[in-house]
Structure 1
Amino acid sequence: MKGFVSSRLHPFANLLLLVGLMLLAACVAGFLMAVLSNLLFGVGLLEIGNVTNKPDTYANGWGVSMLTQGVFLFVGFGGAALALPLLTGYSWQEYFAPRRPVPYNWLLLAAGIILLSVPFMSGLVEWNAKAHFPGFLQGLEKDARELEDRAQVLTKYLTQFTTFGRFIVGLIVIAVVPAISEELVFRGVIQRNLVQWFNSRHVGVWLAAAIFSAIHFQFFGFVPRFVLGLVLGYLYEWSGNILVPMAAHFTQNAFQIVLLYMQQRQLMSSETFNPDSNEALPWWLQLLSLLLTGALLWQLYRHTLRPTADPLPTQLRTLSGGGVANPAVHTAPIIGRTINHEGVDVTKS
């Protein structure tokens, strides 16, 4: 497949190209948001900003806010990530899932890891929420907390699922769309290129996780989101298939949405689940959660080290230290090798 841009670009150039594509995609998303909000809700381009800033003061504020958030993520993030491989001469499967399809149990295990980690993550959430800046940065801490408090008020309004229809819309916009779009960007493009750039899977995973957490602009939630980014990053690195971190990301967001809906419908007491609380679960449950999550992650890691046989010819692209693609077509089965998602033989690494 021939692209408009050379596939031999340095990873840093690919990341700059991603930024440019995201800016272009954001413009397209803005146009679509204006058209759809006008057609569906009668809200014009000049009104969208006011409606999304204070949606509770407008009759169609909830719908417009959900629409704009979903379109922006799906087009602005996902669209840019999908455009990059096409421009550089890759197919989507080759770029985001170059290994043969992973077994379905990988998707289930990825979801299970997220659910098992909930008690441990609650401890990180509480610790990070109570963190403080150094004394000379108290003013910055005050501004950061006020910003997050305002964001929390908006989030609380948007997650008021008064009907089952609203719950479905919330599940799509808050769970499905971010799982697809953010994983394409942060794991599929950013992590992939960072791994190539630094020639280190660990450096690529950790840097991508830091960027993933920082771009949400929530200092008092940075650490748990960073840890989540690490889990998603290693799931992608080990599986070589973008669907695996997507399944985990979807589970993370959907689990919270489902619990919130159950609490709002009085199917669960506020004592069992309080969406406004940052209080951690008991320490022994956190410890058990950490051990079980770590054990499951270790099993998945060990699975990637096992010699495997690919019964069909596999076209691989190995990369030199400068990030130059060197196509190599194998006409015989690859036996007894472990291949990472970049098509690099890591049997002995």
Structure 2
Amino acid sequence: MKGLLPRQVHPILQLLMLVGLAVAGLSLASLLALILANQVYGVSLTQFGELSAKPQAAPHAWAVLMLLQGLSLAGLGAGAAVLPLVLQQSPSDYFAPRRLAAAWGPLGAAVLIVCLIPLLSTIVTWNAGVHFPAFLHDFELWARGMEDQATDITKYLTNFSTPGRLGVGLLVIALVPAIAEELVFRGVVQRNLVRWFASRHVGVWLAAAVFSAVHMQFFGFVPRFLLGLVLGYLYEWSGNILVPMAAHFTQNAFQLVLIYLAQSHRLPTSFDPDANQVLPWPTVLVSAVLSAALLYGLRQRWATPPAAPATPVS
């Protein structure tokens, strides 16, 4: 029996299907989070809506917000993961058309991200201090208010008073977003933008812009856009979604571990992981050089086809 969909579905239609599936997954996951929060922690619908505004005043707020964030992102990623099945394709062929012959690909991507962090942190500091033109003053005030609110929630969620909390944070704030966001933005959005415009570069840059804009953090747009570019090219070059997932997870997890070490007084007291500190220029220069070298090396490695097996001598 033939499927209802044509063999080649237009990229625009696939993107529209992604939106529908993602909204459905997000809605179902949020409903599940509400039910679990009510049954496990006794949180009512009204209290559920007030948690983000005043989490410190609500009992079990940390656990409930982590539950909501984890399930919501999982629902979003599930929507993207279901898309190939709707298109009657294999998810492994859709998201990872090029199989990984060894673990060096994800490992190399993880090392690249660690090398890139000092350079990105400098751009974070610059972007946080950007001011809009005078005619956008009201918008800037609104955007900074949104940014401050998001920062307050992030600081609350990353209060890792125990190793168990850090473990939950690594799962909810590092692993789940790495899987879900890469499936959505690289696996579906970038893939279809590349097909639509018949250009790798246009697809990668547009997907990175969408990836950064969706986070609604205007004073962090540029560094997240640059991160999206790196993740996008890692996916294009490797042809396997596990590579940008590994890089994304490393970026998130590295920051969480630094926060935990600072909170547990295992780092110098002068180190503040939440502050936008300008790093010494030699550190930034080394970061830029190492990152460029790793990017070039990974690009060359993936561009080289695997060697054919030797023909036995008769």
Bucket of the pairwise TM-score, normalised by the shorter protein:
over 0.9
Q: Which residue of 1 aligns with 2:19?
A: 19
Q: Quick check: 65-74 or 45-54, which moved more?
A: 45-54
Matched residue, 1:251: 250
The more displaced of 46-55 and 63-72 is 46-55
Q: How many Å apart are 1:30 and its aligned residue? A: 2.0
1:145 paired residue number? 144
SS in 1 for 2:94: helix
Contact 1:3 1:90 in 2 (8 A): no
Q: Are 1:297 and 2:295 an aligned pair?
A: yes
Amino acid at match of 1:53: A
Do the aligned partners of residues 2 and 31 (structure 1) sit closer, same or farther apart at CA in structure 2, a change above 3 Å counting?
A: farther
Distance 1:2 1:27, change over 3 A: farther
Within 5 Å, which residues of 2 pair with 1:1-349? 5-75=5-75, 77-271=76-270, 273-309=271-307
Specify every segment of 5 or more residues in structure 1 that has no aligned partner in the other structure, as ranges. Answer: 312-349
Q: For 2:276, give the aligned amino acid.
A: N
CA-CA distance at 1:53 after TM superposition: 3.0
Alpha-carbon distance in structure 2 between the residues aligned to 1:211 and 1:310: 39
- Matched to 1:212, the amino acid is F
Q: What secondary structure does 1:110 align onto?
A: helix
Question: Match for 1:294: what amino acid?
Answer: A
**CA distance 1:226–1:102, change in 2 (3 Å):** farther
**In 1, distance between residues paired with 2:308 and 2:214?**
38
Matching residue's letter, 2:115: L
Q: State the alpha-carbon separation in 1 of the partners of residues 199 and 302 from structure 2.
A: 17
State how far apart, in whole Å, the 2-side matches of 1:249 and 1:18 are: 21
2:78 & 2:221 partners in 1: Cα distance? 26
| Cα distance in 2 between the residues matched to 1:11 and 1:191 | 10
**CA–CA separation in structure 2 for the residues paired with 1:153 and 1:310:** 55
* Root-mean-square deviation over aligned CA pairs: 1.5
- Number of residue pairs matched? 309
What TM-score comes out, normalization by structure 2 length?
0.95
In the TM superposition, residue 185 of structure 1 has moved relative to its aligned partner by 0.2
Deviation at 1:38, TM superposition (A): 1.7
- 4+ residue segments displaced more than 6 Å: none
User: Is the 2:231–2:244 Cα contact (8 Å) retained in structure 1?
Assistant: yes
User: Amino acid of the residue matched to residue 133 of structure 1?
Assistant: F
Structure 2 unpaired stretches of 5+: 310-314
Q: 1:243 to 1:310 in 2, by over 3 A?
A: farther
Which digits, 9 at most, give the CA deviation of each residue in 1:264-322, with x for residues without a partner? 11111231x312211221112111111110011001111122233577xxxxxxxxxxx
Instruction: Flag the structure with more relative contact order, 1 or 2, with Cα contacts below 8 A and sequence separation at least 6.
Output: 2
Percent pairwise identity: 55
How many Å separate the matches in 2 of 1:182 and 1:5?
A: 26
Distance in 2 (CA, whole Å) between partners of 1:23 and 1:281 is 40
Q: Is the 8 A contact 2:52 2:153 kept in 1?
A: no
CA distance in structure 1 between the partners assigned to 2:237 and 2:295 by the alignment: 10
**TM-score (norm: length of structure 1):** 0.85
Greater strand share, structure number: 1
Cα 1:23/1:108, change in 2 over 3 Å: same
Residue type of the alignment partner of 1:274:
D
**For residues 114 and 293 of structure 1, what CA distance do their matches in structure 2 show?**
8
